[in-house]
């Protein structure tokens, strides 16, 4: 039974049991209609508690249903029956009440939640707005600007905050269902509260607060339609009669649901979850993951160590000497302090995490590590020396991983007696924040070692994407390709700020030249010099980046790169860079032609899709959707475009 009913001393307990997240699929909607009819018709029932089995209260409508014609009873109709019930309904919330789940709770007369519950309307993250009354009812329960913030941002609020805003009536102290039954029993003796539809919209918390939130999210939209639709729906809720506002909400929702941005966002939602499912690992248990070793306390090593500590793992970091170990320890402590400042860690949790951390200057300190991640200088000889030492000091079952961003992991593995225990774990800076983790799989890597890498990604709250061994794996290989295309366009007729503007109007947070200036032009310059001897002479090569570096212009850190940087650090167009580019075009005999914005993006997307197709052909990536997951999570490809392969119709 997806929805079952039992009555305890005159209170009906309606329980939804629809794993994995109690989404309001057809059977749930039918079951709820049945529950309303039965409880309304049973004179022994005085009140109703709506609860969910499993890990969470309803986490939303079933997103998988959106691609097909929706079948009645539709959620808004189901919720109207609950709201119209003559007996009080109490929503008993645990886990996350999200989207249609929170809308279902809003149609109940009361809501109570466990202390660790969270409530939200995240529809905008799927390119939607609430489609079952949320934009009309939420602002009748909580302040207008609070309602707009929740719906336009899609962010959840914890139970305590929900209580303060008036979104829930109580937080339970003990067992949720028992408390909810007691709450319902007391409610049965009181007059029913007025349905939300009959209440006036709540005022804003301060004059102008609503418009300030609207302005903030209008600015942040960057071409996304859903946040703007959310603002429109919340304005309707304040100005139109409820029936008109609900009709307008439904129309906006259906337009968004059938639009390309929502299809792209739903594609990425499921692609990110599918990325971690690896057929070859079915039935393969990961090895234990309690103690992690990190070799290297630089930016990446410290970020990786902090990510593991924040996930509750014990970490031993080693560096070449006591001074470097102390510097690495300080970097890790700094990251945890940042998490404390941002409220992501309590002082006790920070102390506990630091107690699980050691920074040492001897390989012997890694003797009991379950997994070791190397994050040292990107040089094969250096990595060979590290892995030879790891082979010597670690247990035979310890998984060894390199964080290399482009070196051949199989070549690194050859420094060990058992290469099958070596894989790549390519983190992206900052490692404790970026969600993507490329899991690089050399030929012959042991399945349980691979399963351990995937398990680590999930433990860290990251998205694992399996990548084969090649230069740059998936992310950097595609980025190198479209960076080259951008540089070709500099010679052909475009300027850095034109290319960056095209990318930013497409939805990237930052254009590629601005991004390179930020990370430092000298890094890729060093890589180009290293590869000069093996570069294909037939391949077109653009010298502009080299010219800038030869003149000492490494980007923001030297005050000039592709852009000029003022005291305030703002990027400005550079006439010197423009002159250098024009001179390079002339030197190569290229007659520059202006390149319109649409063509700039078309060429960049074609470059990404072309490299993506090669990556699939070579088996470096398992599916086109994995490539989308990588580009969205590594390089800010706009989620609402679905990734380069989705955008290209793959």
Site for ligand T1G contains 69 (CB under 6 A): no
Site for ligand T1G contains 609 (CB under 6 A): no
| Residue from 22, 47, 52, 100 binding ligand T1G (CB under 6 A) | 100
| Pairing mode, strands 436-440 and 564-565 | unpaired
Which residues between 468 and 527 bind ligand T1G (CB under 6 A)?
none
Helix (H) or strand (E) segment spanning residue 81: helix 75-83
Site for ligand T1G contains 249 (CB under 6 A): no
Query: Are 22 and 4 contacting, i.e. CB atoms less than 8 angstroms apart?
Result: no
Which one of 6, 34, 65, 123 is the catalytic residue?
123
Q: Please identify, among the stretches 6-14, 56-64, 189-197, 553-561, the one whose residues bind ligand T1G according to the rule CB under 6 A.
A: 56-64
Residue 98 bridge partners (DSSP)? 120
Site for ligand T1G contains 151 (CB under 6 A): no
Cα separation, 248 vs 236, in Å, equals 8
Site for ligand T1G contains 268 (CB under 6 A): no
Cα separation, 186 vs 306, in Å, equals 48
Site for ligand T1G contains 410 (CB under 6 A): no
| Residue from 2, 15, 96, 224 binding ligand T1G (CB under 6 A) | 96
Residue 509 has which token pair? 């947070």
Residue owning tokens 């929702």: 253
Site for ligand T1G contains 588 (CB under 6 A): no
Q: Nearer to ligand T1G by C-beta: 437 or 571?
A: 437
Whether residue 40 lies in the annotated active site = no
DSSP letter for each residue of 578-608: HHHHHHHHHHTT-------HHHHHHHHHHHH
| Pairing mode, strands 436-440 and 422-427 | antiparallel
Residue 353 has which token pair? 């995490």
Q: Nearer to ligand T1G by C-beta: 11 or 59?
A: 59
CB of 9 to ligand T1G, least distance (A): 33
Site for ligand T1G contains 376 (CB under 6 A): no
Q: What is the size of the binding site for ligand T1G (CB under 6 A)?
A: 25
Nearest to 409 by CA among 453, 476, 473, 480: 473
Site for ligand T1G contains 63 (CB under 6 A): yes
Site for ligand T1G contains 132 (CB under 6 A): yes
Site for ligand T1G contains 286 (CB under 6 A): no
Q: Nearer to ligand T1G by C-beta: 64 or 414?
A: 64
Nearest to 115 by CA among 170, 185, 186: 170
Whether residue 103 lies in the annotated active site = yes
Site for ligand T1G contains 246 (CB under 6 A): no
Helix (H) or strand (E) segment spanning residue 93: strand 89-93
Sign of the Cα torsion 520, 411, 381, 399 reads positive
CB of 423 to ligand T1G, least distance (A): 23
| Residue from 51, 62, 224, 404 binding ligand T1G (CB under 6 A) | 62
Which one of 34, 65, 103, 618 is the catalytic residue?
103
| Residue from 36, 52, 87, 103 binding ligand T1G (CB under 6 A) | 103
* Per-position b or e across 632-643, b if 16+ CB within 10 A of its CB: bbbbebbbbbbb
CB of 233 to ligand T1G, least distance (A): 11
Site for ligand T1G contains 126 (CB under 6 A): yes
Q: Please identify, among the stretches 124-132, 244-252, 387-395, 524-532, the one whose residues bind ligand T1G according to the rule CB under 6 A.
A: 124-132
Site for ligand T1G contains 294 (CB under 6 A): no
| Residue from 31, 88, 134, 293 binding ligand T1G (CB under 6 A) | 134
| Residue from 2, 93, 123, 506 binding ligand T1G (CB under 6 A) | 123
Site for ligand T1G contains 271 (CB under 6 A): no
Q: Nearer to ligand T1G by C-beta: 75 or 369?
A: 75
Sign of the Cα torsion 446, 317, 414, 436 reads positive
Site for ligand T1G contains 227 (CB under 6 A): no
Site for ligand T1G contains 187 (CB under 6 A): no
Cα separation, 102 vs 79, in Å, equals 11
Cα separation, 586 vs 421, in Å, equals 53
Query: Are 642 and 265 contacting, i.e. CB atoms less than 8 angstroms apart?
Result: yes
CB of 145 to ligand T1G, least distance (A): 21
Helix (H) or strand (E) segment spanning residue 327: helix 322-341
Cα separation, 175 vs 179, in Å, equals 6
Cα separation, 419 vs 573, in Å, equals 50
| Pairing mode, strands 291-295 and 157-158 | unpaired
Q: Please identify, among the stretches 96-104, 170-178, 190-198, 222-230, the one whose residues bind ligand T1G according to the rule CB under 6 A.
A: 96-104
Helix (H) or strand (E) segment spanning residue 333: helix 322-341
Site for ligand T1G contains 88 (CB under 6 A): no
CB of 166 to ligand T1G, least distance (A): 21
CB of 257 to ligand T1G, least distance (A): 7
Nearest to 15 by CA among 45, 49, 59: 49
Q: Strand order in 357-360's β-sheet?
A: 357-360, 314-318, 291-295, 371-374, 399-402, 422-427, 436-440, 463-467
Query: Are 113 and 171 contacting, i.e. CB atoms less than 8 angstroms apart?
Result: yes
Q: Nearer to ligand T1G by C-beta: 487 or 626?
A: 626
Q: Nearer to ligand T1G by C-beta: 96 or 172?
A: 96
Distances (CA, A) of 403 to 248, 276, 299, 370, 383: 51, 19, 12, 16, 10
CB of 226 to ligand T1G, least distance (A): 11
Cα separation, 230 vs 248, in Å, equals 11
Prior bond of 20 cis (ω within 30°): yes
- E strands of 497-592, at which residues? 564-565, 571-572
| Residue from 4, 8, 64, 529 binding ligand T1G (CB under 6 A) | 64
Q: Would you give the binding string for ligand T1G spanning residues 11-30, x where CB under 6 A is met?
A: ---------xx-x-------
Provide the binding-site residues for ligand T1G, judged by CB under 6 A.
20-21, 23, 59-64, 75, 96, 98-100, 103, 122-123, 126, 128, 130-132, 134, 270, 273
Residues classed as catalytic? 103, 123
């Amino acid at each position: 039974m997806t929805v079952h009913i039992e009555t305890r001393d005159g209170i009906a307990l309606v329980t939804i049991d629809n794993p994995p997240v109690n989404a309001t699929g057809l059977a749930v909607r039918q079951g709820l209609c049945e529950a309303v009819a039965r409880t309304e018709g049973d004179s022994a029932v005085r009140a109703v508690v709506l609860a969910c089995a499993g890990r969470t209260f309803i986490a939303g409508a079933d997103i998988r249903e959106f691609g097909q014609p929706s079948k009645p009873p539709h959620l808004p109709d189901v919720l109207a029956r609950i709201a119209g019930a003559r007996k009080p309904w109490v929503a008993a919330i645990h886990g996350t009440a999200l989207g249609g789940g929170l809308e279902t709770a809003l149609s109940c007369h009361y809501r109570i939640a466990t202390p660790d519950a969270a409530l939200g309307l995240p529809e905008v993250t799927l390119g939607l707005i609430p489609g079952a009354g949320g934009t009309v009812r939420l602002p009748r329960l909580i302040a207008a600007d609070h309602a707009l913030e929740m719906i336009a941002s899609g962010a959840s609020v914890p139970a305590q905050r929900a209580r303060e805003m008036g979104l829930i009536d109580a937080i339970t102290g003990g067992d949720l269902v028992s408390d909810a039954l007691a709450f319902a029993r007391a409610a049965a003796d009181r007059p029913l509260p007025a349905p939300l539809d009959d209440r006036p919209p709540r005022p804003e918390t301060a004059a102008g607060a609503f418009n300030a939130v609207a302005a903030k999210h209008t600015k942040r939209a960057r071409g996304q339609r859903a946040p703007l639709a959310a603002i429109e729906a919340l304005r309707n809720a304040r100005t139109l009669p409820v029936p008109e506002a609900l009709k307008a909400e439904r129309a906006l929702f259906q337009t968004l649901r059938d639009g390309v941005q929502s299809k792209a966002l739903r594609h990425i939602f499921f692609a990110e979850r599918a990325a971690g499912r690896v057929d070859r690992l079915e039935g393969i248990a990961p090895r234990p993951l309690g103690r992690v070793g990190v070799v290297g306390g630089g930016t990446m090593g410290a970020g990786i160590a902090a990510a593991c500590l924040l996930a509750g793992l014990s970490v031993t970091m080693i560096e070449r000497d006591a001074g470097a170990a102390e510097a690495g320890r300080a970097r890790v402590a700094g990251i945890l302090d940042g998490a404390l400042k941002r409220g992501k860690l309590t002082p006790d949790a920070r102390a506990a995490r630091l107690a699980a951390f050691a920074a040492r200057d001897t390989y012997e300190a890694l003797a009991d590590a379950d997994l070791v991640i190397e994050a040292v200088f990107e040089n094969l000889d250096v990595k060979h020396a590290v892995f030879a030492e790891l082979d010597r000091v670690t247990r035979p079952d310890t998984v060894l991983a390199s964080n290399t961003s482009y070196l051949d992991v199989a070549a690194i593995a050859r420094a060990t007696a058992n290469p099958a225990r070596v894989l790549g774990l390519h983190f992206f800076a900052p490692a404790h924040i970026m969600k993507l983790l490329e899991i690089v799989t050399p030929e012959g890597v042991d399945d349980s070692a691979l399963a351990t890498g995937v398990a680590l990604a999930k433990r860290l709250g990251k998205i694992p994407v399996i990548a084969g061994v090649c230069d740059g794996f998936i992310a950097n290989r595609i980025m190198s390709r479209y960076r080259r295309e951008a540089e070709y366009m500099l010679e052909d007729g475009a300027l850095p700020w034109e290319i960056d503007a095209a990318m930013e109007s497409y939805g990237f947070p930052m254009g590629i030249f601005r991004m390179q200036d930020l990370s430092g032009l000298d890094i890729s310059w060093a890589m180009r010099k290293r590869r000069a001897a093996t570069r294909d002479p037939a391949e077109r090569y653009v010298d502009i980046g080299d010219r800038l570096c030869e003149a000492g212009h490494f980007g923001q850190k030297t005050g000039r790169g592709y852009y000029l940087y003022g005291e305030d650090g703002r990027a400005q167009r550079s006439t010197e860079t423009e002159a250098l580019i024009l001179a390079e075009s002339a030197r190569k005999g290229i007659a520059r032609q202006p390149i319109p914005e649409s063509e700039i993006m078309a060429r960049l997307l074609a470059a990404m899709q072309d490299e993506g197709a090669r990556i699939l052909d070579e088996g470096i990536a398992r599916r086109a959707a994995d490539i989308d997951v990588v580009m969205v999570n590594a390089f800010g490809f706009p989620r609402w475009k679905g990734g380069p392969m989705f955008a290209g119709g793959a």
